[in-house]
Structure 1
Amino acid sequence: MNLFKRAWWRLAGHLGKTVMLTGLFFVICTLVLSGFLIQSAAARAADSAKGSVGAVVTMQLDLDALINSGGAGRSDGAEPGIIGPGGDLRADLVDKVCESSVVARCNYTSDSAAAPTDKVGLHQPVPPPGGQDTTGTDLFKADGVRDLESVADFRNGDSRLVSGSGITPDSKADMLVIEERVAKDNRLKVGDRIKLRAGTIDPEKGGMSTKEVEFTVGGIYKNNTADSGAYVPAMADPANQIYVTPDGATRLQAKDPAGGGAVLRSATFTLRDPGDLGRLKADAKAAGADLKIFPLSVNDKQYRTLVGPINKTADFAAVTVWLVAVAGTVILALIIASNLRERRKEMGILLSLGEKKPRLLGQQLVEVAACALLAIGFAAAGSQFIAEGIGGQLLAGQVSSAKESAADEGPRQDLTDPTGGANKKEEGPETEPIDTMNIRLGAGDIGKVGATGLGIAALATIVPGIRILRLNPRDILTKGD
């Protein structure tokens, strides 16, 4: 007799057991398919976040590595307490790294200071207390920037141009942007030529350097911080913040930008994909960078903030899929083993009539697979709504937990900032984690749950069904159980 007909008669004749088996498969397949849908939605969200945020990689000097390598010794002309040219990160090298195919955009900055001259003085509405030595603080704070619009104060609106233009990658090397209070104090306007002294110590003569650097006032800006009415060290007063090109900042350090480009404090590279750090390191080495002295450190905080909760939700869904699959297989195997025990006489009669043992096992597989296919169809119809509900609740919990952790952690100290980050301004709005899921049911998801469901059916049937291959019809019919 055809095993498929026997399987159909069995399923139709025992509707209670058929419904129970189908219902159990429906629960298993629904949970498994929901897990797959949540994982797929999380993967799409993570891919989207990669393209919109990327990761920022910073290149800057590792002083300990430089000292250990001997690059800061007298052999390269360095004096005690002064970093030699081996510790200079040059713009020409950074520009080569910027050409890497994995870099979406790059920027770099250079820190320096400028001493006033007889014709250009500091803005100090309140003089220092009598007898206080202000030699090291009576300076302009000069930041060498590649693009003025990328500076945090200008992005946040704390500063704005009121005359002239800002510094761009195409600006002339001698361009200078000053605050309007300094411009009024010194009667300066856009286009004026001025001289400032390098704000460094002369290692040969001692004391402040006497080297003068000439600039052209290309822009005047206004900072929203008003005068405090009390004495403030000149370098800490926002009015004495000036902006120059990286080449200009290098000259204010009494160094020559002609030998490899401007000397930089740090360079940042925004990657197209946070996973491209390895490729960037390879390209940097090919460009000639010593990554031991100038290491690349990735800051993917925004990316991690965006996808952290949704990735944790996807991980939970993956664990759930495995647990449901394993538990479902065990439960089904126990149920099928119990059914096989109840059907020993049926199988004994079939064997005595000449039926082959593998065909008996095949009948069991057909019965279970039929229930599984029916359950997969029902699961495909309702899993999207269930996944949206479960995934939304799980994601909301993860987002809430992430926000609480961020609030408890507070701001981290920037070890590269001598003020410990006390004066550091926020560079933009905080990134909010992804808090919604775009659940979409596709043919691939149905295929995966179908393969999983049929795999569970096969495993749960074959393991206990091995006993069928050891059955002896004479023993079954004469001894029963």
Structure 2
Amino acid sequence: MNFLKRAWWRLASQLGKTVMLTGLFFVICTLVLSGFLIQAAAARAAESAKRSVGAVATMQLDLNALLNSGKGSKNAGASPGLIGPGGDLHRDLVDRICASSVVAQCNYSTDSGAAPTDRMKLYKPVPLPAGQKDDGLDFFKAEGIRDLDALPSFRNGDDRLVSGKGIKPDSAGDMVVIEERLAAANHLAVGDRISLQVGNAPAPGQEPDRRRFEFVVGGIYRSGTPDSGRYVPAMMDPANQIYVTPEGGSRLLGKDPGADGGVVKSATFTLRSPADLDRLKADAEAAGADLDVFPLTVNDKAYRTLVGPITKTASFATVTVWLVALGGTAILALIVASNLRERRGELGILMSLGEKKPKLLAQHLVEVAACAAVAIGLAAAGSQFLSQAIGDKLLAGEVASARDQAASDRQGPDPSNSTGGPKSAGADGEKVEPIDRMDIRIGPADIGRIGATGLGIAALATLVPGIRVLRLTPRDILSKGN
């Protein structure tokens, strides 16, 4: 008799066992398919995050590497204790790197100071405490930047322009943006001209650099940090933070911008994907950068913040898939082994009638595979809704943990905050909220994967205990019984 017919009759006559086996397969396939769908959703979210956020690579001087390379010396500069020209990162080099195809956005800055003049006084809301002497080294904190809008504090909204416009790559070299309290203290408005002096502290025994440069107030901004109500050095007061162009920053450092566009302290490159760092390094070397002295390091914190919880959820789903698959295989193997034991008499009679052992095993495989096929169809119909519910629940827990950890990290004082307060939301960069929603979608590829997995489990669960059938003879089965 055809073993396919025997398999059908067996399934129809033992309807209770057939339903039980199908139900067990349904649970296994549903959980495994849910794991696959969660993994796929996490992969899509991570890819989307790469495109939307990318990663930020930073280029700045490595002083030890400079000294070890022999290109610089602590006394190579014009003044003792200063780094020589080998430690200068030039703007024109950075501009060439910015042109790389993997760079979505770039910015660079020059940290310098600016000494007050008779046409530009410092903002001092609280006078110097009694008993302390003014050492005459109070400066404005001047930052030469390429694009004001690219600064984290302006992206986050902690600082914002209230009049005029911000510095852009094509802004005039003499443009300056000042804080509104400083503007009010000096009675300045957009379009007014001011004078600033080079802000380098002189070396012992040397005269200060008294060169002055004219700037035009192009914009006025409002800082998100209020007055502390106590005395702080002028350079630490946020109202004394001014922004100039890279050329202006170079001049206030006492360096002529020249043909190379001036010097910058650090440059940041927002990559289209965190995987593009190697390509950026190659383009930087082709542009003439010495990556030993000016190394490129990636800060992918925004990307990790975005995908951290959903990646952990996907990892949990992966573990679940393996545990369910292995556990399901073991349970089904025990059930099949129990069925084979119960059907020893049937097997012995069929073998004595001349039925081939492989066909007996094939009959059992068809029975189990038929139950698996029905279960796979049912799982494919209902897994999307179940996966969405499970995934959202797991992801919500991971997101809550991530937010609690971020809040805990911000409880400590911010060393850059002159008021001694906690870190602001944008202290470490742009505000980024983790992905908190999974986009579960089921497609033909997912059904194919669960189909292959379900049938594979059916085959293993049948063949492993069924191998014993191939070692038995009709006499052994019928004479020894159970």
CA contact 2:75–2:82 (8 Å) conserved in 1: no
2:356 and 2:286 map into 1 onto residues whose CA distance is 69
1:15-164 to 2 correspondences below 5 Å: 15-73=15-73, 76-77=76-77, 79-124=79-124, 128=128, 132-135=132-135, 137-152=137-152, 154-155=154-155, 156=157, 158-162=159-163, 164=164
Superposed, which structure 2 residues align to 1:395-410 within 5 Å?
395-410=395-410
Instruction: State the match for 2:355 in structure 1.
Output: 355
Q: What per-residue deviation string (whole Å, max 9, x for no partner) do you get for residues 41-78 of structure 1?
A: 22222222222222222222222333333333168446
Give 1:255 shift.
1.2
One-letter identity of the residue aligned with 1:314:
A
1:472 aligns with 2:461: no
Q: How far did residue 411 of structure 1 move?
A: 5.6
- Partner of 1:307 in structure 2? 307
Alignment deviations for residues 294-325 of structure 1 (CA, whole Å, 9 cap, x no partner) = 22222222222222111111111110110111
Cα distance in 2 for residues equivalent to 1:476 and 1:139: 99
SS class of match (2:382):
helix
> SS in structure 2 opposite 1:117?
coil
Identify which range, 179-188 or 453-462, moves more after superposition. Answer: 179-188
Partner AA of 1:288 in structure 2: G
DSSP-derived class of the 1:379 partner? helix
In structure 2, do the counterparts of structure 1 residues 4 and 247 end up closer, same or farther at CA, with 3 Å as the change threshold?
same
1:244-273 per-position Cα deviation (integer Å, ceiling 9, x unaligned): 110111011111222533211211111212
**In structure 2, distance between residues paired with 1:15 and 1:425:** 66
Whole-angstrom distance in 2 between the partners of 1:226 and 1:393: 40
Give the structure-2-normalised TM-score: 0.89
Residue matched to 1:456: 457
Return closer, same or farther for 1:150/1:136 CA change in 2, 3 Å cut-off: farther
Structure 1 stretch 191-200 or stretch 458-467: which is displaced more?
191-200
Q: Which amino acid aligns with 2:168?
A: T
Contact 1:198–1:211 (CA<8 Å) still a contact in 2? yes
Contact 2:196 2:212 in 1 (8 A): yes
- Counterpart AA for 2:481: G
Helix, strand or coil: the match of 1:440? coil
Specify the SS of the correspondent of 2:81: coil
439-448 vs 208-217, which moves further: 208-217
Farther off after superposition, 252-261 or 128-137: 128-137
The residue aligned with 2:435 is 434
Partner of 1:293: 293
Secondary structure of the structure 1 residue equivalent to 2:107: strand
The structural deviation recorded for 1:423 is 9.1
User: 2:379 corresponds to which residue?
Assistant: 379
CA separation of 1:387 and 1:217: change in aligned 2, threshold 3 A:
closer
* Secondary structure, counterpart of 2:260 in structure 1: coil
Contact 1:348 1:476 in 2 (8 A): yes
Partner in structure 1 of residue 171 of structure 2 = 171
Structure-2 separation of matches of 1:109 and 1:287: 19
Query: Which range is displaced more, 24-33 or 379-388?
Result: 379-388
Equivalent-residue separation in structure 2 for 1:216 and 1:90 (angstroms): 24
Q: Deviations over 1:343-364 (max 9, x none)?
A: 2222222222222221111111
Is residue 138–residue 235 contact of structure 1 (8 Å, CA) maintained in 2? yes
Letter in 1 for 2:137: T
Asked whether the equivalents of residues 114 and 141 of structure 1 are also in contact (C-alpha less than 8 Å), the reply is yes
CA separation in 2, counterparts of 1:243 and 1:116?
Answer: 15
Give, in angstroms, the shift of residue 8 of structure 1.
0.7
Inter-CA distance 438–344: structure 2 relative to 1 (3 Å threshold): same
Distance 2:282 2:414 in 1: 27
1:217/1:438 CA distance change after superposition, 3 Å = closer
- Relative distance call for 1:372 and 1:183 in structure 2 (3 A) is closer
Distance 1:193 1:399, change over 3 A: closer
TM-aligned CA distance change 1:313 to 1:257, over 3 Å: same
Q: Calculate percent identity across the aligned residue pairs.
A: 66
- Provide the aligned length of Structure 1 versus Structure 2: 479
- The range that moved more, 432-441 or 70-79, is 70-79
CA 136–20 in structure 1, closer or farther in 2 if over 3 Å, else same? farther
Q: Which moved more, 1:448-457 or 1:274-283?
A: 274-283
Partner secondary structure for residue 435 of structure 1? coil
Q: Per the alignment, do residues 273 and 188 of structure 1 end up closer, same or farther by CA in structure 2, a change over 3 Å counting?
A: same
1:155-199 CA-partner distances (Å, limit 9, x unpaired): 52645243x443211112222334456556666565555543211
SS at match of 2:379: helix
**Paired residue secondary structure (1:454):** helix
CA distance in 1, matches of 2:98, 2:431: 27
Q: Give yes or no for contact 1:72–1:78 (8 Å, CA) kept in 2.
A: no
Is the Cα contact below 8 Å between 1:50 and 1:272 reproduced in 2?
A: yes
Distance 1:342 1:322, change over 3 A: same
Q: Which residue of 1 aligns with 2:329?
A: 329
Distance 1:325 1:147 in 2: 54
| Kept in 2: contact 1:413–1:420 (CA 8 A) | no
TM-score (norm 1): 0.89
Separation in structure 2 between the aligned mates of residue 335 and residue 4 of structure 1, nearest angstrom: 21
Cα pair 2:94 2:267 within 8 Å, conserved: yes
How far residue 4 of structure 1 moved from its aligned partner, in angstroms, is: 0.6
C-alpha change, 1:319 and 1:421, in structure 2 (3 Å) is farther
SS at match of 1:242: strand
Provide the C-alpha distance between the structure 2 equivalents of 1:154 and 1:480, rounded to a whole number of angstroms: 83
Mapped to 2, the partners of 1:134 and 1:34 lie a distance apart of: 69
1:94/1:17 Cα in 2 relative to 1: closer, same or farther (>3 Å)? Answer: same
Matched, 1:244 2:244: yes
Q: Following the alignment from structure 1 to structure 2, what is the Cα–Cα distance between the partners of residues 477 and 142? A: 97
Q: Distance in 2 between matches of 1:254 and 1:436?
A: 52
**Residue range with higher mean Cα deviation, 57-66 or 185-194:** 185-194
Deviation by residue 1:191-219 (Cα, 9 ceiling, x = unmatched): 55554321114559613212333334434
Which shows bigger deviation, 172-181 or 38-47? 172-181
Relative to 1, partners in 2 of residues 1:30 and 1:126: Cα closer, same or farther, differing over 3 Å? closer
Question: Do the aligned residues in 2 keep the contact of 1:152 with 1:425 (CA within 8 Å)?
Answer: no
* Aligned residues: CA RMSD: 3.0
